[in-house]
Amino acid sequence: GQQVMQIPQYQHVQEGEDFTTYCNSSTTLSNIQWYKQRPGGHPVFLIQLVKSGEVKKQKRLTFQFGEAKKNSSLHITATQTTDVGTYFCADPNYGGSQGNLIFGKGTKLSVKP
Amino acid sequence: DAMVIQNPRYQVTQFGKPVTLSCSQTLNHNVMYWYQQKSSQAPKLLFHYYDKDFNNEADTPDNFQSRRPNTSFCFLDIRSPGLGDAAMYLCATSRMGVRYEQYFGPGTRLTVT
């Protein structure tokens, strides 16, 4: 069954508003990855978080890994139309096998100009 | 540019007629993956090759097979496609190590008539 839960499933925002997607695991994660998939495109790696409590920033994107390494979030400040797509968190050690990605269900972001 | 290439981008096959999808990479990565992604769903790992070692996911149907004749190429064979196998098939590669982010190809969209 699904090991990584992600919410919300959909998010509609006005351009300029902030956006956050949350990922939760029932088990402690060694690390977590985030991917973005544009409409009609393929997943593109954004970042990997490894350390407990880690916070990483990429321009307007802020990624956090929980202290217990069971949750993670992606926050986008002042969304732009180029941010449209589905954001997936992923456990890259599914079943204890390094590299086996199990994706969350994703959060589909739409941005109204 | 180093990349992951999938051919064809669109494939139409008949119910029960075997079909082969191909993937090649110029990244010289030692791991290659096949994912199935249905509409509005997350990619689902089917199997992967770690060098020549084949690793099948427990719930991947026997109807799906894979071949990796060399480092650069990997094939997905669907022996008897059913209507439920219509999906986007994504190939991905990674280099095993500390980071092991995955690089996805553009995908092949399979239609079964």
Q: What span, in angstroms and rounded, lies between the C-alpha atoms of B87 and B58?
A: 19
CB pairs under 8 A between A and B: 52
Predicted local distance difference test score (pLDDT) of residue B100? 78
Separation of alpha carbons A51 and A69, rounded Å:
8
Give A-chain residues touching B31 at CB under 8 angstroms.
99
Looking from the CA of B96 toward its CB, the CA atoms found within 13 Å total 13
* CA separation for the pair A32, A65 (Å, rounded): 8
- Quick: pLDDT tens for A66-85: 999 999 999 999 999 999 99
For A49, the closest chain B residue by CA position comes to B99
CB–CB of A42 and B90 under 8 A? yes
Give B42 to chain A, closest Cα distance, Å.
5
Q: Which of residues 2-41 of B touch A (CB under 8 A)?
A: 31, 33, 40-41
How many Å apart are CA A53 and CA A69, to the nearest integer? 8
Residue A57 scores a pLDDT above 80: yes
- In tens, the pLDDT along B34-46 reads 999 999 999 999 9
Residue type at position A30: S
Contacts A103 to B, Cβ<8 Å: 42-44
pLDDT at A95 over 80: no
**Quick one: average pLDDT of A49-69?**
97
Q: Is residue B107 pLDDT above 90, yes or no?
A: yes
CB contact set of A80 (below 8 Å; sequence gap of 6+): A15, A60, A111
